[in-house]
């Protein structure tokens, strides 16, 4: 079995989630995407719907802070609390052993772990638009705009909390254009990377 924790950042519509899910299945290790929000909610006591409605979205903490009574004083803005709860959830998951984690600054949260493989999946916009229409039933009208908008939010979230640049290759051990190989072959390639890295630790 692998010894690695694989984090997967991904452009919207690139198939990153499906690739991660298949990879986890093939490696026989747990997979965390939205599951992470449930764990963060349980651990923090904050209602899960707050994690869902703020998932990988840039901070817009003022309104939430007022609503939740956390405005002023020395308390943290509410979105920061959500981020920290997810950060803790990622680290507690990582302590349990190898797994695949999608998005949510997991590469940043685990930067002091040496058994982490950081991957980023991208694809040309036309490939992602087609996939978004097919997989997520997004309406054909303005779908390219929608895809770019979601990526902008992911980038903003990542950059704000990690202080790094989303989709900048120096943050990743491996980046792959899933539009070239397709989903299953991209899974194969990442598996190969993980095998090669694992072999260095023997």
Decide: is 188 part of the binding site for a second copy (CB under 8 A).
Answer: yes
Decide: is 23 part of the binding site for a second copy (CB under 8 A).
Answer: no
Closest CA to 118 of 100, 137, 95: 100
Residue from 122, 140, 144, 149 binding a second copy (CB under 8 A): 122
Kindly report each contact of residues 125-134 with a partner whose C-beta sits within 8 Å and lies 24 or more positions away, as own/partner.
127/13, 127/14, 127/178, 127/179, 128/11, 128/12, 128/13, 128/14, 128/179, 129/13, 130/13, 131/13, 131/14, 131/15, 132/12, 132/13
Residue from 64, 83, 120, 157 binding a second copy (CB under 8 A): 120
Number of residues that bind a second copy (CB under 8 A): 26
Nearer to a second copy by Cβ, of 71 and 193: the residue is: 193
Residue from 38, 111, 177, 183 binding a second copy (CB under 8 A): 177
Residue 139 to residue 109: CA distance in whole angstroms: 35
Decide: is 181 part of the binding site for a second copy (CB under 8 A).
Answer: yes
Q: Which residue has tokens 């920290």? A: 84
Decide: is 197 part of the binding site for a second copy (CB under 8 A).
Answer: yes
Decide: is 196 part of the binding site for a second copy (CB under 8 A).
Answer: yes
> Could you list the residues that contact a second copy (CB under 8 A)?
117, 120, 122, 124, 167-170, 172-177, 180-182, 185, 188-189, 192-193, 196-197, 199-200
């Amino acid at each position: 079995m692998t010894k690695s924790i694989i984090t997967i950042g991904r452009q919207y519509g690139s198939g990153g989630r499906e690739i991660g899910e298949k990879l986890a299945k093939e490696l026989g290790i747990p997979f965390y995407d939205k599951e992470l929000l449930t764990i963060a909610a349980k651990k923090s006591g904050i209602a899960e719907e707050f994690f869902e409605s703020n998932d990988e979205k840039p901070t817009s903490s003022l309104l939430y802070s007022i609503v939740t009574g956390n405005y002023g004083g020395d308390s943290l803005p509410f979105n920061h609390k959500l981020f920290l709860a997810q950060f803790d959830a990622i680290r507690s998951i990582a302590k349990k052993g190898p797994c695949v984690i999608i998005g949510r600054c997991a590469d940043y949260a685990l930067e002091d772990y040496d058994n982490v493989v950081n991957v980023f999946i991208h694809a040309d916009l036309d490939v992602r638009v087609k996939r978004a229409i097919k997989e997520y039933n997004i309406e054909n009208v303005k779908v390219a705009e929608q895809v770019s908008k979601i990526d902008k939010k992911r980038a903003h979230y990542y950059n704000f909390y990690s202080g790094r640049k989303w989709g900048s290759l120096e943050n990743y051990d491996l980046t792959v254009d899933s539009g070239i190989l397709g989903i299953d072959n991209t899974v194969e390639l990442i598996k190969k990377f993980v095998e090669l890295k694992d072999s260095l630790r023997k």
